[in-house]
A and B are shown apart, each in its own frame.
Chain A
Amino acid sequence: MSNSSTSDPLKPFKLKTKQQELLIRVSILCLVYILAFITRLFSVLRYESMIHEFDPYFNYRTTLYLTQHGFYDFWNWFDYESWYPLGRIVGGTLYPGLMVTAALIYRLLHFLRFAVHIREVCVLTAPFFASNTTLVAYFFGKEIWDSGAGLVAAILIAVCPGYISRSVAGSYDNEGVAIFALLFTFYLFVKAVNKGSLAWGLASAFGYFYMVSAWGGYVFIINLIPLYVLVLLITGRYSMRLYVAYNCMYILGMLLAMQIRFVGFQHVQSGEHMAAMGVFFLMQVFYFLDWVKHMLSDTKLFQEFLSITVTCAVAAGGIALGVGMASGYISPWTGRFYSLLDPTYAKDHIPIIASVSEHQPTAWSSFMFDFHILLFLFPAGLYFCFKRLSDATIFIVMYGLTSMYFAGVMVRLILVATPAVCLISAIAVSATVKNLTVLLRSKNKVAQIGSTKGTSSAKASSKASLDQSQPFPKNGAMALLFGAFYLLSRYATHCTWVTSEAYSSPSIVLAARGAHGNRVIFDDYREAYFWLRQNTPPDAKVMSWWDYGYQITAMGNRTVIVDNNTWNNTHIATVGRAMSSYEDEAYEIIRSLDVDYVLVVFGGVTGYSSDDINK
C-alpha cells in the first residue's frame, strides 16, 4: 500500500484513506481484544487453571450445580450444606447472571463439540468479558467523543489494574461480568439519549436487566441515570429524546429486574430505588408542562400554572414517599447504602461490613496503584468534557465524579470508577494528541505547500494563536507528544507489573521463594479441604471462621455453620464467640451447634501471618 511506484499489480489491493483507517482501527481493536484476554492469564501460567479467593468458589459450586441439574433445580435449590442448621435458599439469594452466563457458554461449547470442563469455562469467563468490555469502551468512547478516544479508552481499560484486579483468570466473581454489563448499559442508554430511538432504549433496558441479574451494583445504575436525567432537566436540556430513552429504559428495566428473585419488588418498595421513580414522575410532569406550554400561548398564565403544578407534584411525591416510609411499604436504606453516603456510618452501626477489608476507605497509594497516570489524566479529561458539553459528555462527567467519590469511600468500588476514569482519561489523551498532531501537520503543510490556502480556518487560527504565544510550537509539540507516549508506555509497564505481581495470586495456593531461589508452594488449604472431603463422614459439620465457608463447601464438600454470605449476624457472632472463648466454654457452644470438626488456621510454624489467631 505504501509503495505506490510499483502500482500495477498492487492496484486492486490499494486502499483509500478511509479504508486504511478502518483497517487500522479494526486491527487495533482486535489486538486490544487479545491483549485484554492474555494479560489476565498470568495466574494460569504462574499457578494453574483454578478458581481464586473465596466468593468465586461459591459461584463455581452453584455453576456446577446449574450445569448438572438444570435451571429449574438451580432456581429452586435449597442448600443444606451451608448455614447449618438453617440452610440457604440459593436460588432466591444470589444474582444468577454470572452462573447462567457461564453455563450458557459451557452449553454452547459442548454443542460445538468442545469437550471442555466447566471449571475452565468459569476460570476464563472474567477475561473473556474483560475483552468484551474493551469493545464496549471503544463504542462508548466513540459515542461521547470520537473514534480516537474510543480506541484509547479500549487500550486503557484493557490493561487498567483497577479492572484487572477483579477480572484475572480464575476470579470467577460477579464483578467480572458486571463491569461489562454496567458499561454496556450506560453505553446503550447514552446512545438512546443521543438518538432518541425506542430500539436503543429497549436495548438499554435489557442491558440493565443483565446487570441486575449479575451484580448488586446495579443500584449504582438505577441511581446514576435518574441523577443524570435530573441534571439534564435542571440545565434545561430536556428533550423528547431523553423522555423516550429514560421512560423506556426505566419501565422495561424495572419490569425485567423484578424477574430476578433476589431483587423482587425492590424497585417499587426500597428506598434506594425511589430516586428513579421520582425522576420518572418528574419526567411526566415535564412532558405535561411542555404540552400545556404548547397549548397555552400566554406566558404569564403558564408561569402561574407552572408554579402550581410543580408545587403540587413535589408535595404529592413527598407525601407519597412519607406515607410509604411510615407504613413500611417502602423499606429504608440499607446499611451498605448508608455507609456509601457516610463513610463513618458502618464503623458505628454495622461492624461486620466495616470488618471486611475491601469495604475500607481507599488509601491514596491504592489509587495510584490502580490508576497510575489515569489519576492525572482524569481532571484533564474532565476539562475537555466541560469544554465540549453535550448530553453524552455530561453523562460521563457525572459517572466519573460520582464513581470517584464512591471509590474513595470503599476500596472495592475502584472497580466501578475504572471504566469512567479510563474513558475520561482517553478523552484527555486523544484530545491532546490530536491537537498536537494537528499542530505538527499544519506546520509541515505550511512549510511544504507554502502559500497554498488549503488549510482550514480553524487550523490556521490555532496556528496563529500558538504562534503568538509560543516561540517553538513545533518543537514544543514534539516534546509534549514524546512525553505523552513516554507516560503511556510507563502506564503499560506499570499495569503489566501490577498484574503479574499483585493481582494474579489465587490466595489459596501461596508461593514463596525458597532459600536457593526455587519456588516453594504452600498448598495447605487445599490439603485440609481435600482431607475433609475424603476422610470425614459425608454429613459431617465443619465449623470455621466464616472466610473459609465457601471454600469448605466447594472443595471439602461438607456442611458448614457459617460462610461468606454473611446474612445471619447472630449465627456469625455465635461462631465468633466459640472461636474466641476459652476451650471449655467454646466446647459447650460448639456442642450446641452440633459441630463435628473445627477448622483452624495456624500460621505459627511457617510464619504465615494471616491465620486465625490474628483475627
Chain B
Amino acid sequence: MQIDLSSHIVKVYLTLKVENAGSTPTSEVLLSFPPTQADHLATVEALVTKGKRKKTTLVRLDVKPTELPDAPNDAKYFTIYLANPLKSGESTTIEILYLLTHSQEPFPAEIAQSESQLVYYRDSALILSPYHIKQQTTFIKTPSTKVESFTRVEPSNRAGTEIKYGPYEDHPPYSFSPILIHFENNSPFAVVEELVREVEISHWGNLQVTEQYTLVHAGARHKGVFSRVDYQSRPTLNGASSLRYLLARLPPRVHSVYYRDEIGNISSSHLRTDSRKSELEIEPRYPLFGGWKATFVIGYGLPLQDFLFETSDDRRYLNFTFGCPLLETVVDKLTVKVVLPEGSKDPSAVVPFPVEQHLETKYSYLDVVGRTVVVMEKKNLVPAHNSHFQVICLLHLQANLHACGAFDVGVRVLLVFRGLCSLPAHRSFHTQVKHRSIRNKKIANSSKLSLFRLQ
C-alpha cells in the first residue's frame, strides 16, 4: 500500500494479493473504507494484470459501491468484480487506485504570509479489510523531508520523504490502528467549489466552451496582513503556500481563448499550443492565500469536426471530456451543460460514471424555439474524472422546418435562411466523419494507455 501525500489530493495505490481461502469459487472481492474516508472518496479503480512477462496488459475491473447489513462502525464497501472467478485456493493480484479529497487538515489552521503550511493526515497503518490480512506494508510519501511528527506503530521508520509502516503479519478482519502524520505541504490547495462548463455546438463549425470557476484556496487560512512588496521581492520565502498560477490543459487546435471575470479581462495568462495539446497558464488577479476566493471565466473555441461525429443511424454525437481541465484541482461540484443546436431532438448522454441529468432550454443569438441543453451534475471530482462522455441527438433539417411551421412567415424566412446557411456544414460531415472516427479510436486508445501508465 502506497499513500502519496505530495499534493492535496491523496493518492492511494493498493496492491492486493487475494487468495480464495473458502471452498467455493468467488468472483467478488470486497473493499472497505471507514466512513470518514468514504465521504472524501473521489474515485476507486481496480485493475488486474493479464498475460505474462513483457506482454502484460492491464484490464480494468468493475467496481461498485455495495451495502452490507452487518458493517461494523458504518464502514462503506465497494465490490470488485473479477473477470474470472477465483477458484478455491487460487490467488490473484489486483491493483487498486483510489483518490481522497479534502483529507489533509491544516494545522495550525491560520498562518501568516511568511509561514509555511503544515497539515495533518489521518489514516490507519493497517488497511480496513473484511478479510484476514496475512502481511501488509504501508509506504507514505510526504511532499518534503519536513515531517513534524508521525504516529509510531512498530515496526515503522522514516527515510527522506518516505515513512514506512510494517511489515505487519497476521491481523484479523477489521483491524484498525490509527496513525496521524503532521508534515509540511506547501502545494496549493486549489479547490474549485463550483464549476459550470457550457459546451455549445454551433453548426457554423465551432464548439464554444465556457467554464465558470469559483476557486478557493482550501489550505490554512491567511492571518494578518498581505504585503505585496515582500511577496514580489522574495516570493519563495513570503507566500510559499499561496496559489500563484494554475495550468489548464485544453484540447489541441484551441482558438479565441479568453480569461476574464465579472469586472473585465484578466491580463495575466499565457497560452502555449502544439499539435497534441494546448496549455493555458492562468494567474488569478491576486495570489490566493488560504481561505481566499476568486471567480473567473475561461472560454475557448474548438473546431467542431474534432468532437462531433455521426453514428450509423444518422444521429450525431458529441465526444468531449467531462472533468475540469485544470491540473491538480479538486472540483466540489461540476455542472456540464451541452447546448445542442436549435431543433435537435431526443438528446441522451453517455457518461462513464453516475451523474445527475436533466434538460433545460437556452436562448442565444437569433433563437426562436430555444436550444435544448443537456445538464449533467456531479460532486467531488478529481482530474482522474477527465474521461470522455458522449451526447447523442437527432438533428434533421426537416424537423427544423416542421418546427417552424407554426410560426409566422418572418420567423420562417429566418429559419430557412439559417438552415440554408448550415447546409454546407451538414454535407461536410459525411465526408469528414469517416476518417475522424478512425482518429477518434486512436485518441481513445491513447487515453487508455496514459491511464495505465499512471498506475
Contact = CB atoms under 8 A, between A and B. Distances in A.
Interface in A439-455: none
Contacts of B367: 113
Given A534-B295, A535-B293, A527 B366 contact: no
B363 interface: yes
Contacts of B366: 113-114
Nearest to B216: A534
Contact of A113 (B261, B285, B291, B368): B368
Interface string A88-118: 0000000000000000000000000111000
A531 B363 CA distance: 32
Interface string B127-170: 00000000000000000000000000000000000000000000
Contacts of B320: none
A530 B363 contact: no
Contacts, number: 47
Given A534-B293, A534-B294, A555-B263, A526 B285 contact: yes
B107 interface: no
B263 A529 contact: yes
Interface string A532-555: 011100000000000000000001
A530 B263 contact: yes
Contacts of B267: 509, 521, 523
A47 B265 CA distance: 9
A59 to B, nearest CB: 15
A113 B367 CA distance: 6
A526 B363 contact: no
Nearest to B222: A535
B365 A114 contact: yes
Most chain A CB neighbours (cut-off 10 Å) among B261, B262, B263, B291: B263
Interface in B249-289: 261-268, 285-286
A587 B261 CA distance: 34
B261 to A, nearest CB: 7
Given A50-B265, A534-B293, 17 more contacts: A48-B264, A113-B366, A115-B363, A115-B364, A115-B365, A509-B267, A521-B267, A523-B267, A523-B268, A523-B285, A526-B263, A530-B285, A530-B286, A531-B285, A531-B292, A555-B263, A605-B229
B226 to A, nearest CB: 9
Contacts of A533: 262-263
A529 to B, nearest CB: 7
Contacts of A535: 291-293
A531 to B, nearest CB: 5
Contacts of B286: 527, 530-531
Interface residues of A, number: 19
A526 B295 contact: no
Interface of A: 47-48, 50, 113-115, 509, 521, 523, 526-527, 529-531, 533-535, 555, 605
Contacts of A527: 285-286
8 contacts: A50-B265, A115-B364, A523-B285, A529-B263, A530-B294, A533-B262, A533-B263, A534-B294
Nearest to A511: B267
Contacts of A509: 264, 267
Contacts of A114: 365-366
B364 A50 contact: no
Most chain B CB neighbours (cut-off 10 Å) among A47, A113, A530: A530
Most chain B CB neighbours (cut-off 10 Å) among A521, A529, A533: A533
Contacts of A521: 267
Interface in B362-385: 363-368
B396 to A, nearest CB: 22
A523 B259 CA distance: 14
B415 to A, nearest CB: 12
A35 B127 CA distance: 74
A568 B263 CA distance: 28
Interface in B284-310: 285-286, 291-295
Interface string B436-451: 0000000000000000
Nearest to B258: A48
A509 B265 CA distance: 10
Nearest to A555: B263
Contacts of B292: 531, 534-535
Nearest to A521: B267
Nearest to A524: B228
Contacts of B229: 605
A527 B364 CA distance: 31
Contacts of A113: 363, 365-368
Contacts of B291: 535
A172 to B, nearest CB: 14
B264 A50 contact: yes
Contacts of B268: 523
Sort A-B residue pairs by CB-CB distance and give the 7 closest, nearest first. Answer: A48-B265, A534-B293, A555-B263, A527-B285, A521-B267, A50-B264, A113-B366
A533 B286 CA distance: 12
A526 B368 CA distance: 38
A605 B228 CA distance: 10
A383 B220 CA distance: 77
Contacts of A605: 229
A529 B264 CA distance: 12
Nearest to B265: A48
A548 to B, nearest CB: 14
A253 to B, nearest CB: 39
A513 to B, nearest CB: 15
Nearest to B289: A535
A47 B268 CA distance: 13
A514 to B, nearest CB: 13
Contacts of A555: 263
A502 B285 CA distance: 27
A113 B264 CA distance: 24
A224 B261 CA distance: 46
B380 to A, nearest CB: 23
A115 B264 CA distance: 18
Most chain A CB neighbours (cut-off 10 Å) among B264, B292, B366, B368: B264
A506 to B, nearest CB: 9
Most chain A CB neighbours (cut-off 10 Å) among B261, B286, B291, B292: B286
Contacts of B294: 530, 534
A614 B263 CA distance: 27
Contacts of B261: 530
A291 to B, nearest CB: 57
B295 to A, nearest CB: 7
B401 to A, nearest CB: 19
A362 B315 CA distance: 70
A534 B287 CA distance: 13
Contacts of A530: 261, 263, 285-286, 294
A47 B264 CA distance: 10
Contacts of B265: 47-48, 50
Nearest to A119: B264
Nearest to B292: A535
Nearest to A529: B263
Contacts of B262: 533
Nearest to B365: A115
B365 A526 contact: no
Interface string B349-366: 000000000000001111
A538 to B, nearest CB: 12
A303 B363 CA distance: 75
Contacts of B266: 523
A387 to B, nearest CB: 53
B453 to A, nearest CB: 38
A114 B364 CA distance: 7
A523 B264 CA distance: 10
Nearest to A508: B264
A530 B283 CA distance: 14
A115 B366 CA distance: 8
Contacts of B263: 526, 529-530, 533, 555
B109 to A, nearest CB: 17
Interface string B198-237: 0000000000000000000000000000000100000000
A614 B39 CA distance: 56
